[in-house]
Amino acid sequence: MPVANTIEKFWSYVNKGPKDECWIWQGPINSTGYGYWGLQGAKWLAHRLSYILANKLESLSPDICVCHKCDTPRCVNPNHLFLGSKKENWDDMRAKGRNSNGKGDHSGMARLSSPMVIEARKLYATGNYSHQKLAEMFGVSKSSMNKAIRGDTWSHIKDGLTGYDPRKYVQTHPDVIPKGEKAPSAKLTDKQVLAIRQDYTSGKYTHVKLAAKYGVSKSLIGYILSGKIWRHLEEVS
């Protein structure tokens, strides 16, 4: 059994709630979506260690699995855990449709749950939370959160996707970088960029002359004229 201070630290990574609800592990997560905890030079599955601690066991045989009643990989609530053989664990996973080829909550790779995805989408829609901030809150990578919110993953969960239109966040959402003159680093206005294009089309100005006229670098003029930047502006005839 781990020493008392280690046990206390372990439980500090758990969001404990009512006995009938999932207690989500907030510590490290492995590649299959399960929490783990480093102890005595080895990595323990968090839910396995939770079962051992709650039942005051010295250890468990490697042949014995700690299974989930709730099918939430990150849950460490002892009341949601039960023992089974490897075969029984696999049969239970197949019976519930929970395997590496499953979808959403039923995927062995899932680091989020349906309620977590719905909540994340609601928070994102307020405009007060970026993908990065939500990723940190829910213990996943920024790319995973991005995909979950946009529906690239968890697309079977429709909550939070109804009427989703990224364009409405152009000026308000922290994940969207303002374009053109609204960008913090902009050195030109939209009107000036259109004028630069017109001047160049007239054939009277070279890149160097345009740079001097508008007080910017020659390379910036080149990027504007080649369409690498300010592409959202339409040419004026």
Q: Report how far residue 35's alpha carbon sits from residue 45's, in angstroms, rounded to the nearest whole number.
A: 6
What is the reported pLDDT for 49?
A: 92
Query: Quick check: 80 and 66 in contact, CB under 8 A?
Result: no
Diameter of the chain measured on Cα atoms: 85
99/120 same-domain check:
no
Q: Report how far residue 86's alpha carbon sits from residue 63's, in angstroms, rounded to the nearest whole number.
A: 7
Residue 233 lies in a domain: no
126/146 same-domain check:
yes
End position of a domain, from candidates 86, 106, 126: 106
Report the number of distinct structural domains present in the chain.
3
pTM for the full predicted model: 0.43
Query: Quick check: 175 and 128 in contact, CB under 8 A?
Result: no
Phi/psi of residue 16, each to 5°?
A: -75, 140
What is the reported pLDDT for 114?
A: 74
Q: Kindly give the residue spans of alpha helices, DSSP state H, lying in the chain.
A: 4-11, 46-54, 86-95, 114-125, 131-138, 142-150, 190-202, 207-214, 218-226
Q: Report how far residue 186's alpha carbon sits from residue 193's, in angstroms, rounded to the nearest whole number.
A: 11
26/69 same-domain check:
yes
What is the reported pLDDT for 214?
A: 92
End position of a domain, from candidates 58, 74, 106: 106
Q: Report how far residue 54's alpha carbon sits from residue 2's, in angstroms, rounded to the nearest whole number.
A: 12
Nearest alpha-carbon partner for 140 in 157, 158, 160, 119: 119
What is the reported pLDDT for 164?
A: 44
What range defines the domain where residue 194 resides?
Answer: 180-226
Tell me the average confidence (pLDDT) per consecutive run of 10 residues in the chain, 237 residues long: 70 88 88 80 88 89 86 90 83 62 54 76 81 82 85 73 44 51 77 91 91 90 83 56
78/156 same-domain check:
no
Residues pairing with 29 in the sheet: 35
What is the reported pLDDT for 161?
A: 58
Q: Which DSSP string corresponds to 7-61? A: HHHHHTTEE---TTS--EE-S-B-TTS-BEEEETTEEEEHHHHHHHHHTT-S---
141/191 same-domain check:
no
24/100 same-domain check:
yes
152/222 same-domain check:
no
Nearest alpha-carbon partner for 131 in 173, 100, 94, 92: 173
CB within 8 Å of 146: residues ≥ 6 apart: 131, 152
What is the reported pLDDT for 120?
A: 83
190/216 same-domain check:
yes
Residue 201 lies in a domain: yes
Up-side HSE of residue 94: CA atoms within 13 Å toward CB?
A: 6
Query: Quick check: 49 and 37 in contact, CB under 8 A?
Result: yes
Cα–Cα distances in Å, from 27 out to 12, 34, 35, 111?
A: 9, 10, 7, 12
End position of a domain, from candidates 51, 82, 106: 106
